[in-house]
Chains A and B, each alone.
Chain A
Amino acid sequence: MILDQAIEELVSTYQSLDAVASRLVVDAKEVADALEKVTFGSVEHVALLALQKYNPFTTQKETIKPNADTEQQ
């Protein structure tokens, strides 16, 4: 789902933010990036916090197998 649409839905709903955010699937990286830019305490900030709860962004470290070649043999 496009992040803007998700925010719009959360900002305009009269239902529980938790319940609505739990069924909105958005890109977690986009949510994390948007949270850095949005004004603290704004209505978009409230919506993004609800989205972040169900779409947490975790940075994945690259794992390099030291003996990948030898394992194949």
Chain B
Amino acid sequence: MALPNKVLPGFSATLYCQPSATPTALTVANLSTYASVSTIAVSGNLLPVESIPAFGQDDASATFAVAGSRQSDIIPTQSKPTSMTITAAWNPSDPNLLLMRGDAYNGTVDRTFVISASDGTNTIYYAFNGRVSEFHIDMAPNAEAKCTFSIHPRGNQYGWSNNT
């Protein structure tokens, strides 16, 4: 699909999560389909994050060596999706943050997340399936309470779509 040609300046990004404690994550083809993804990117599913972290791929490789040999091998094994560390103001009444906490305790819930970049007219969605872990709450008295958690995207399960 063609992307909007006025990308980035003036665009704001937002993170949404699929609702329900036992979600059925979108399939890969649906992750690339605007109509499917836009149903998740609604205000009720908003995650109140401070900022959208970097997302994409990390390098990964396997290193092989033989003891005593001068030569070794580094073989690229995969393009591992980047884990996203999210910080949000902790609100124990926010249903979506509670979903994240529940996912982190469970550890095996696959949920669809959507990053929406929009300038008000054009919208680009990056949708991916991921699992949540490492949820912790920082109640330091000298600042507002915040929670931090990581979303680990599942390999290959992502898609781009837009409204143009």
A→B interface (CB under 8 Å) = 10-17, 19, 41-43, 46-47, 50
| CB atoms of B156 and A46 under 8 A apart | no
User: With A41-B34, A43-B36 known to touch, is A13 a contact of B27 (CB < 8 Å)?
Assistant: yes
Q: Does B35 contact A (CB under 8 A)?
A: yes
Known contacts A14-B27, A16-B28, A17-B28; A42/B157 CB under 8 A: no
Interface residues on B, range: 10 to 19
Q: How many Å from the CB of B151 to the closest CB on chain A?
A: 17
Known contacts A41-B34, A46-B32; can you find 12 more A-B pairs with CB under 8 A?
A: A11-B30, A13-B29, A14-B25, A14-B27, A14-B157, A15-B28, A17-B28, A42-B35, A43-B29, A43-B30, A46-B29, A47-B29
7 contacts between A and B (CB under 8 A): A11-B27, A14-B156, A14-B157, A41-B34, A43-B33, A43-B35, A50-B29
Does residue B116 face the partner (Cβ distance < 8 Å to A)? no
Judge if B96 is at the interface, Cβ distance under 8 Å.
Answer: no
Chain A residues, CB < 8 A from B28: 13-17
Tell me the interface secondary structure of chain B in the complex.
mixed
Which B residues are in CB contact (< 8 Å) with A11? 27, 29-30
Q: Which residues of B contact A13 (CB under 8 A)?
A: 27-29
Q: Is the CB of A41 within 8 A of B156?
A: no
Q: Does B129 have its Cβ within 8 Å of any Cβ on chain A?
A: yes
Q: Interface SS of chain A: helix, strand, loop or mixed?
A: helix
A11 to B28, CA, bound (A): 7
In the complex, B161 has a CB within 8 A of chain A: yes
B1 at the A/B interface (Cβ < 8 Å)?
yes
Measured between C-beta atoms, what is the minimum distance from B24 to chain A in Å? Answer: 11
B162's nearest neighbour on chain A, judged by CB, is: A41
Q: How far is the CA of A42 from the CA of B28 in the complex (A)?
A: 13
**Smallest distance from the beta carbon of B132 to chain A beta carbons, Å?**
18
> Whole-angstrom distance from the CB of A7 to the nearest CB of chain B?
9
Residues of B within 8 A of A41 (CB): 1, 33-35, 161
Q: Which residues of chain A are near B1, meaning CB under 8 Å?
A: 41
Q: Separation in Å of the B16 CB from the closest CB of chain A?
A: 19
